[in-house]
Amino acid sequence: MNHISPKARATALLAALMFVVAGCGGSGGGGGAPPPNGGANHAPTISGTPATTAKVGTAYSFQPAAADTDGQALTFSISNKPTWAAFDSATGRLSGTPAAGDAGTFSSVVISVSDGAASASLSAFTITVQAGAVVGSASLNWTAPTKNEDGTPLTNLAGYKVRYGTNVGALNQLQDIPNPGTTSLTIQGLAAGTWYFTLASYTNVGVESAQTAAVSKTIG
């Protein structure tokens, strides 16, 4: 039977202890990319003073300044973004042009920046969209259709529908003209900005044609 001397036993125990210590490393702290230069992570900073008023038909833009002492990549996010605005998560830029239907107050807007592990935010702010000054009108003229889309004679024309607005993709205002003999219309009270208009005809049984391509007029 072999005997291990006390010194040899201590050496074997030390080696086992070193193995256990080396093999039980923890997963570390909380998430996110570590700083490139090692060490403790520092939260990024963000600053800037956004305009708290915007006007219908006028472009609005705000971009905060942000920095990270650790040199980590930053991403931006927003809470309670105004419906009329777009947000760039790479730069933190909030921008857009309010339309006539956007007049009102957009509250508790918060822009934040993150380095993947820590974040910082601007104080919540409010943007009040003011209606633009009423400075103009638009006159539309058209020729009454005489045929259906399939080429047959149109005999029951009943009127027209003019749709318009400051967003060509969402013409949310409507002027109904229940008179087939009317071929012109002047729309008053248009605020400053670019307005878009389309025209559709309809029959006495309510069948409506496709809308025409949009035409536009800039007011102011």
- Give the model's pLDDT for residue 124: 98
The answer to whether residues 164 and 105 belong to one domain is no
Is the entire prediction scored with pTM above 0.75? no
Tell me, yes or no, whether 35 lies in a domain. no
Residues 66 and 97 in one domain: yes
On whether residue 172 sits in a domain, the answer given is yes
Q: In the prediction, which pLDDT does 17 show?
A: 38
State residue 101's pLDDT score: 81
The answer to the question of residue 27 being in a domain is no
User: Considering the domain boundaries, does residue 56 fall inside one?
Assistant: yes
Q: How far is CA 116 from the centre of its chain?
A: 22
Shared domain check, 160 and 94: no
Contact indicator for 158, 203 with CB cutoff of 8 Å: yes
Domain enclosing residue 56, as ranges = 45-130
The CA angle 4-10-11, to the nearest 5 degrees, is 90
pLDDT at residue 139 tops 50: yes
Report, as an integer, the average pLDDT of 199-220. 94
Any domain includes 14: no
Amino acid at 218: T
Model pLDDT, residue 14: 40
pLDDT score, position 209:
95
In this predicted structure, the answer to whether residue 130 has a pLDDT above a threshold of 60 is yes
How would residue 110 be classed by pLDDT, with cut points 50, 70 and 90? very high
Q: Are residues 97 and 150 in the same domain?
A: no
